[in-house]
Amino acid sequence: MERAVVLGGGGVTGVAWEWGLLAGLARRGVELAGADLVVGTSAGSVVGAQWCAGRGVREGYEAQLAPPEGEVAARFSVAVVARLVWAGGRGRDAVRARARIGAMAVAARTGSEAARRAVIEARLPVRRWPARRLLVTAVDAASGEFVVFDADSGVSLVDAVGASCAVPGVWPPVTIGGRRFVDGGVRSAVNADLAVGARRVVVLAPTTAAFGPMPRVSAQVAALRAAGARVVVVSPDRVARAAIGRNVLDPARRAAAARAGWAQAASVAGEVAAVWG
């Protein structure tokens, strides 16, 4: 495998920033569309599913600039963040930590699965798994097991993306085959280690946050490099962070985040091109 693109989590503003960055890179001659593998976690699963299904990066970017009419802003409340840190930050056993977060997610009072599924479904222009290899990450809420969905998993693309985006305490866990799943970001903000075997890896990481026993992005990248890969990680710069703001689940910040990604592409295009070849 030659090239992989890893798209990390980061809420609705993460979706927007990633589209802006992808479009801005393409505008500067750095086309990542030739990736042999795309790894999508949470927000990255939305972008990855749309992109692999054929949505152009310019189209994806411009969609983020539209007014967020009818979209409801969610928020990581202080209470939700505190419960996440308390559940996931105790001990050194990552699987048990994820199971505690899963239990918290199952017990949380959120909207219905059906309503949330309709939102995810509306975001995907194509409902079938794309021909390009796409990996979508999630976590089993009961066991804490890390799960990777793909075209051969027997799970619909809508359900896989919905599971990957099921932010604990904010959105309901997704039921698939009698099991319930939560956000793939519970395991890692980017899950870059799934790109092992690729010689060239571009990681777009709206956030690199980690707590407790969660694997650090830096450690995952170091392992890829130790295996012989050339890797570049792009995260929001100072201007992009300001545009994104404090609430990554606020659709009103989407356009600003997308424009910031587009602008940031100018400063990182050379570094990304050097790795991508």
Which pLDDT belongs to residue 75?
A: 66
Domain boundaries, the chain: 3-72+110-276
Burial 176-190 (b: 16+ CB within 10 A, else e): beebbbbbbbbbbbb
At residue 126, what are phi and psi to the nearest 5 degrees? Answer: -130, 135
Please give the average per-residue pLDDT across 213-231, as a whole number. Answer: 93
Distance CA 136, CA 181 (A): 12
Above 90 in pLDDT, residue 108? no
| C-alpha separations of 155 from 175, 187, 227 in Å | 11, 20, 31
Residue owning tokens 């802006």: 20
Please give the average per-residue pLDDT across 10-27, as a whole number. Answer: 96
Which pLDDT belongs to residue 16?
A: 97
| Catalytic center residues | 42, 183
Fold of 3-72+110-276: Cytosolic phospholipase A2 catalytic domain (3.40.1090)
Distance CA 39, CA 3 (A): 11
Which pLDDT belongs to residue 224?
A: 96
Which pLDDT belongs to residue 165?
A: 95
pLDDT in tens, 68-100: 776 666 766 656 666 666 665 666 888 998 999
Distance CA 11, CA 74 (A): 10
At residue 71, what are phi and psi to the nearest 5 degrees? Answer: -90, 135
> What is the band of 59 on the pLDDT scale with cuts at 50, 70, 90?
very high
pTM of the model: 0.93
Above 90 in pLDDT, residue 198? yes
Contact 79, 86 (CB under 8 A): no
Which pLDDT belongs to residue 192?
A: 97
Please give the average per-residue pLDDT across 39-46, as a whole number. Answer: 97
